[in-house]
Amino acid sequence: MDTKEIKILAIESSCDETAAAVVVNGRDVRSNIISTQIPLHTLYGGVVPEIASRKHIERINQVIEQALEAADMSLEDMDGIAVTYGPGLVGALLVGVAEAKAIAFATNKPLIGVHHIEGHISANYIENKDLEPPFLCLVVSGGHTHLVRVVDYGKYEILGRTRDDAAGEAFDKVARAIGLGYPGGPKIEKAALEGNPFAYNFTRPKVADGLYDFSFSGLKSQVLNYINSAAMKGEEIDNNDIAASFQQTVIDTLCDHASMAIEEFGMDKFAIAGGVASNQTLRKAMEDMCREKGVKFYHPSPILCTDNAAMIGAAAYYEFLAGKFDGWDLNAIPNLKLGER
Amino acid sequence: MKILGIDGSGLVASVAVVEDDNLVGEYTTGYKKTHSQTLLPMLDELKKMIELDLNTVDAIAVAAGPGSFTGLRIASATAKGLGLSLGCPIVSVPTVDALAFNLWGSDAMICPIMDARRGQVYTGLYRFDIDGNFKIERPQCAVDFHEIAEDINSRNPDTVTFLGDGVLVFKELIAELIKAPYKFAPAHLNRQHAASVATLGMLYYKNGECETAAEHRPEYLRLSQAERERLEKEGKA
């Protein structure tokens, strides 16, 4: 009986976190180091791609060395080197990709390119040892909003995606409009706790020709228009109420879509993933919805919701088992599609 | 002593292995594919061809900048990944110095020019003395082409040799502004060569000028646009 442990060094640099992790057998995280650049980008009100790329290259070796040290392992112990190669900011991705390729090349280990969203979905495997496909997963972050049917490991069917802004992007834009600043997600969530979610009645966005697709740009405009017209009329508005009502509308929309898909496909497991999945109000709403339906609900801890490399190591393990390795010409693909590779 | 040289600062992708005074192998392409698709596959080819054991490499010399921001980072991240894995140091070689070093032994003043867009060039001024020592007369910089032209004229050289991808862009301005006789380096010398990076890197390495793979970072010679705009705004405020 083969009881060999598969140890993977994973690297993630698709946006504004430089991250490295050591993951054993896809679910056992031995280290998960994240060096965030958020304070730096706050100066600009959002992520500046060139600055992100510059910071990645300044931090990447230290982050990898810390990940190996925290796992008490060396590069020689690794069975494979995994890296996010898309989607994301191309300049940022390229730092991780070039670094991972060079390490795999120099140590003569297999190279595993990982899809960032597959990583987010796989974050659920880490703390839920019982979770196996098939299940339904809602991925919500600053760059992505996807409703995905996880058919099998490495096999995904996209039911719905955003047609314009990602949910997290709408959080950022509304946060800016009411003076909360960047990053918008946690700031809206905090303000919303002090506000009334039913104070303003924003319309839930619908996409005419896509049952499960999302559109958050219209909702964002609704909120911005409301704020502008109130300002012109000299009316007082309560920013906490705006935050709470906006957040509630986003959550209701996400819940509706997930609930419909659970019914249509007869799913008995539902997971959330991505940065916005750490929003407690969203999590509670999803949990309640699942309880009502008798569906098992999964979610990663906040540290595994944010961009991290442990989730990349989790996804890479199943690629490793399937023998899906990449060549030295692996390139960063900023708009890499899920399930199309 | 064995040095691995890497250059991804411009359109050219180049890798080379120099052992003492022997160029064991160099692979250079000036083709439109991205460095992400070329540099490591080329190094792999070279490694196989010259049966290179990477563990015998003493240091990695990389053209650290200036140049294309993304190209520099691909080359640097490649060097950093190799350095981390092999536990060997990195020598940051200024891109413009390495370009000038292509013309070793020339009697002319050497002026590499790389197109830096917006009318600017990455450039510097160099000479080889009678003993073949490399003299940096003006360290690499990002300036308006007119500024380097004035600098050259003020030094009143006997002759100047231009090279680099900026030659094509600034040919007319060179004709208009440069007073001394000048020539352009030919195809086999006028672009980045990892062998020059490695050879110059070996000199720097022997002078103790190297860093750890973790410390190494590109030298852009320019802030990002966002930083520049923020500083301008703050300066005015």
Asked if the domains at B2-95+191-223 and B103-184 fall in one CATH topology, the answer is yes
Task: For chain B, say whether A74 makes contact (Cβ under 8 Å).
Answer: no
Strands B2-7 and A296-298, by their bridges, are: unpaired
Q: Which helix (H) or strand (E) holds A221?
A: helix A217-232
Do residues A286 and A297 make contact, with C-beta atoms less than 8 angstroms apart? yes
φ/ψ of A135, rounded to 5, equals -155, 165
Q: Which two tokens stand for residue A339?
A: 């399930």
Angstrom distance (rounded) from CA A203 to CA B181 = 73
Whether A25 is covered by a domain: the verdict is yes
Residues 6+ apart with CB under 8 A from A183: A38, A42, A142, A172, A175
Residue A340: predicted pLDDT: 62
Across the interface, whether the CB atoms of A106 and B230 are under 8 A apart is answered no
The conformation of residue A306, written as its DSSP 8-state character, comes to S
Distance from CA of B62 to the nearest CA of A (A): 14
Q: Which helix (H) or strand (E) holds A111?
A: strand A111-115
Q: Which two tokens stand for residue B184?
A: 């352009």
Across the interface, whether the CB atoms of A44 and B84 are under 8 A apart is answered no
Q: Which two tokens stand for residue B8?
A: 């991804």
Residue A189: predicted pLDDT: 96
Whether A142 is covered by a domain: the verdict is yes
Smallest CA-to-CA distance from A270 within A257, A252, A280 is with: A257
Do A228 and A314 belong to one domain? no
Q: What is this structure's pTM?
A: 0.95
Distance from CA of A273 to the nearest CA of B (A): 30
Do A160 and A260 belong to one domain? yes
**Helix, strand or coil for residue B14?**
strand
pLDDT tens-place string over residues A310-336: 999 999 999 999 999 999 999 999 999
From residue A21, alpha-carbon distances to A285, B8, B37, B168 in Å are 31, 28, 25, 46
| Nearest neighbour of B40 by CB, restricted to A48, A53, A105 | A105
Whether A91 is covered by a domain: the verdict is yes
Do A100 and A138 belong to one domain? no
Residues 6+ apart with CB under 8 A from A54: B73, B217, B220, B224
Chain A CB contacts of B38 under 8 Å are 329
Give chain B's count of helices (H) and strands (E).
7, 10
Q: Order of strands, edge to edge, in the sheet holding A296-298?
A: A155-161, A145-152, A135-140, A269-273, A296-298
Whether A332 is covered by a domain: the verdict is no
Do residues A243 and A195 make contact, with C-beta atoms less than 8 angstroms apart? yes
Distance from CA of B42 to the nearest CA of A (A): 9
Do residues A253 and A242 make contact, with C-beta atoms less than 8 angstroms apart? no
Task: For chain A, say whether B88 makes contact (Cβ under 8 Å).
Answer: no
Task: Tell whether the model's pLDDT for residue A341 goes beyond 70.
Answer: no
Residue B237: predicted pLDDT: 55
Q: Which two tokens stand for residue A229?
A: 């017209």
Q: Domain holding A62: CATH number?
A: 3.30.420.40
Cis peptide before B157 (omega within 30 of 0): no
Do residues A61 and A339 make contact, with C-beta atoms less than 8 angstroms apart? no
Residue A4: predicted pLDDT: 86
Do A89 and A192 belong to one domain? no
Q: How many CA atoms lie within 13 A of B213 on its CB side?
A: 26
Give the other-Cβ count within 10 Å of A216's Cβ: 25
pLDDT tens-place string over residues B142-166: 999 999 999 999 999 999 999 999 9
Task: Tell whether the model's pLDDT for residue A120 goes beyond 90.
Answer: yes
Across the interface, whether the CB atoms of B76 and A57 are under 8 A apart is answered yes
Whether A327 is covered by a domain: the verdict is no
**∠ CA(B124), CA(B42), CA(A9), 5° rounding?**
100
Chain A CB contacts of B4 under 8 Å are none
Give chain A's count of helices (H) and strands (E).
11, 10
Across the interface, whether the CB atoms of A98 and B78 are under 8 A apart is answered yes
Do A143 and A250 belong to one domain? yes
Residue to substitute from B34, B40, B44, interface A, most A β-carbons within 10 A: B40
Do A204 and A275 belong to one domain? yes
Do A71 and A171 belong to one domain? no
| Nearest neighbour of B85 by CB, restricted to A50, A103, A329 | A103
Angstrom distance (rounded) from CA A103 to CA A112 = 12
Do residues A222 and A174 make contact, with C-beta atoms less than 8 angstroms apart? no
Across the interface, whether the CB atoms of B80 and A61 are under 8 A apart is answered yes
Whether A341 is covered by a domain: the verdict is no
Percent of chain A, pLDDT > 70?
99
Residue A43: predicted pLDDT: 87
Angstrom distance (rounded) from CA A52 to CA A311 = 21
Quickly list H helices, chain B. 35-49, 69-86, 95-101, 145-155, 166-177, 194-206, 225-236
Task: For chain B, say whether A150 makes contact (Cβ under 8 Å).
Answer: no
Domain B2-95+191-223: top CATH class: alpha beta
Whether A235 is covered by a domain: the verdict is yes
Do residues B121 and B166 make contact, with C-beta atoms less than 8 angstroms apart? yes
Task: Tell whether the model's pLDDT for residue A2 goes beyond 60.
Answer: no
Residue A214: predicted pLDDT: 94
In this structure, whether the domain defined by B103-184 belongs to CATH 3.30.43.10 is answered with no
**∠ CA(B62), CA(B63), CA(B65), 5° rounding?**
135
Percent of chain B, pLDDT > 70?
99
Do A174 and A292 belong to one domain? yes
Residue B11: predicted pLDDT: 97
Task: For chain A, say whether B226 makes contact (Cβ under 8 Å).
Answer: yes
Across the interface, whether the CB atoms of A330 and B54 are under 8 A apart is answered no
Angstrom distance (rounded) from CA B94 to CA B99 = 9
Do A138 and A213 belong to one domain? yes
Whether A328 is covered by a domain: the verdict is no
Give the position of tokens 């392409």: B29
Task: Tell whether the model's pLDDT for residue B100 goes beyond 60.
Answer: yes
Chain B CB contacts of A62 under 8 Å are 214
Report A:86-105 residues touching B (Cβ under 8 A).
90-91, 94-103, 105
Do A98 and A22 belong to one domain? yes
Across the interface, whether the CB atoms of B218 and A57 are under 8 A apart is answered yes
Q: Which of the four pLDDT bands, split at 50, 70 and 90, describes residue A182?
A: confident
Mean pLDDT of chain A: 95
pLDDT tens-place string over residues A246-303: 999 999 999 999 999 999 999 999 999 999 999 999 999 999 999 999 999 999 999 9
Do A143 and A292 belong to one domain? yes
Across the interface, whether the CB atoms of A102 and B73 are under 8 A apart is answered no
Do A162 and A138 belong to one domain? yes
- Amino acid in position A226: Y
Nearest CA in chain B to A78: B85
Across the interface, whether the CB atoms of A329 and B37 are under 8 A apart is answered yes
Across the interface, whether the CB atoms of A329 and B40 are under 8 A apart is answered yes
Angstrom distance (rounded) from CA A274 to CA A305 = 5
Domain that holds residue A268: 133-300
Across the interface, whether the CB atoms of A50 and B224 are under 8 A apart is answered yes
Domain count, chain A: 2
Q: Which of the four pLDDT bands, split at 50, 70 and 90, describes residue A1?
A: very low
Task: For chain A, say whether B44 makes contact (Cβ under 8 Å).
Answer: yes
Task: Say if residue B48 is exposed, middle or buried (CB neighbours under 10 Å; 0-12, 13-18, 19+).
Answer: exposed
Name all contacts of B154-158 with Cβ < 8 Å and 24+ positions apart: B155/B109, B155/B125, B156/B180, B157/B108, B157/B109, B158/B107, B158/B108, B158/B109
Q: How far apart are the first and last CA of chain A?
A: 33
Instruction: Please report the number of interchain residue pairs, chain A to chain B, with beta-carbon separation below 8 angstroms.
Output: 108
Angstrom distance (rounded) from CA B165 to CA B115 = 6
Q: Where are the domains of chain B?
A: 2-95+191-223, 103-184
